Structures are given as C-alpha cells and as structure tokens.
Amino acid sequence: MPTMIWMENIRKTYRLGEVDVPVLKGIDLTIEEGDYVSIMGASGSGKSTLMNIIGCLDRPSAGNYTLEGRRLTTLTNEGLAYIRNQRIGFVFQQFNLLSRSTALENVMLPMVYAGATRRQRRKQAEAALERVGLGDRMANRPSQLSGGQQQRVAIARALVNRPALVLADEPTGALDSQTSQEVMALLSELNAQGITVIIVTHELEIAEQTHRVIYVQDGLLQRETVSSAE
C-alpha cells in the first residue's frame, strides 16, 4: 500500500519559563494508506502531542513529516490549515458540537471554511449523516441526541470533506461500553471502506480492535503489536 504518513526523528520541546521540556524525543513512524492504528500511552507519554503533530494542529521542533507524499514541516500556517480542512477529519472525546445548531448544521460547518456553496454543503452533510445512520436525526440539536448519536454526528462532521485520514482522540472516552462498541464498529466500517483511521486511546480493549497498536512512552515509540483484529 502507498505510504500515508512518514515521520523521521520527530521531536517536540516546549519552553516553560526558562526551562526546555522535551515531550517527543525522536519518533520514527510509517502508516500506510488504509491502515487502522491505535496509539496508546500513559498520561504525559507524548501520545497527544504526537496526534496533534499528525493532525497539523502543532508543529514539531525538529524532524521530517510527510503526509500523502507532501512534506508538511515546510508548509506555511495557511498551508497546514488547508491540509487540516481538506485531508484530515477530527473526532474528539467531548464531541465539540455547537449546542444551538442542528446535526445537519454542525456537519456542514467544515465546508463553510472550504468555500463550498450552501447547496454543496447541504448535499454532502446529508450524505455524511446517512453514512453514520442518522438520516432521521438531521434536524435534532445535540441536547436531543444521546451521547452515541452525538459522537456519530461528530464522525459525520469529520467525514464531510471526504478526508483521506480520520484522527480520533479518545472517541469512546465519554461513552458507556455498549455505545463505545457501536462507535468502534462504525470506525472499523469506515476503515474497511478505505479511510485511514488513527485512534488515541488509553483503553486496551479499544486499541485491540484496530490492526496495529503503537505504544508511546517517555516521548519515544517503545513497541508495536499487530492486533488479532487484522
């Protein structure tokens, strides 16, 4: 399979006052197109920083990062914003939905920044909500939806610009066990359709449902396992 993500010697150091705090200490990582990967690690291990760099939400202090053959470490902030909007979909633990907007309006939002017409926005948002099984809930606001349904709206929002990569940061952290499994089944289905999916999680039973489990400790990749889900 073609390479989706290639990272070489990725380092990230934060400056706190007069002290440098290294968080990532030399990450080498390759993820192929269509892969289904989870990243695990204790609090403070660097896994969230790694996810933020993969998602172009943060820049590395050093190293090389290539996404779909494009070197991102040399892009301007505007270039990174374009990649975030067009090539990457984000799913967060707390859903991050606008409370006064309907499910359809929430899903349409990323397309506003993409410059799509209202007709295009509505058509693609409706298709995304149908894709996650919420075709009958488009007019509902978040308060009228269960936690699992809200996460499905968030996943539809992540899909609306037809990204090549979906990043899910603790996507089941705010859900009960049954709803968590429903969300994981949806992410697995999306991966089976060809979307590369990366999940950050602290739950081993969630991680083991992906094809590869990457363990981060003290800012380094400590080991990797291939899941029985492969």
For the segment 203-214, what is each residue's pLDDT rounded down to a tens digit?
899 999 999 999
Q: Is the pLDDT of residue 114 over 80?
A: no
Give the model's pLDDT for residue 113: 77
CA distance 25 to 178: 37
Distance of CA 181 to CAs 14, 71, 100, Å?
36, 35, 28
Q: Is the dihedral of CA 58, 111, 93, 27 positive or negative?
A: negative
**Tokens found for residue 16:** 């706190």
- Tell me the pLDDT band of 93, cut-offs 50, 70 and 90: confident
> What DSSP designation does 101 have?
S
Distance CA 212, CA 228 (A): 9
pLDDT at 99: 95
Distance CA 137, CA 144 (A): 9
Residue 72 has pLDDT above 80, yes or no: yes
**In angstroms, what CA-CA distances link 22 with 12, 25, 44, 103?**
6, 7, 11, 40
The percent of residues above 70 in pLDDT, for the chain, comes to 99
Mean pLDDT of the residues in the chain: 93
What per-residue confidence (pLDDT) applies to 230?
A: 54
- Summarised one tens digit per residue, pLDDT across range 140-181 is 999 999 999 999 999 999 999 999 999 999 999 888 899 999
For the whole model, what pTM was predicted? 0.91
pLDDT at 227 over 80: no
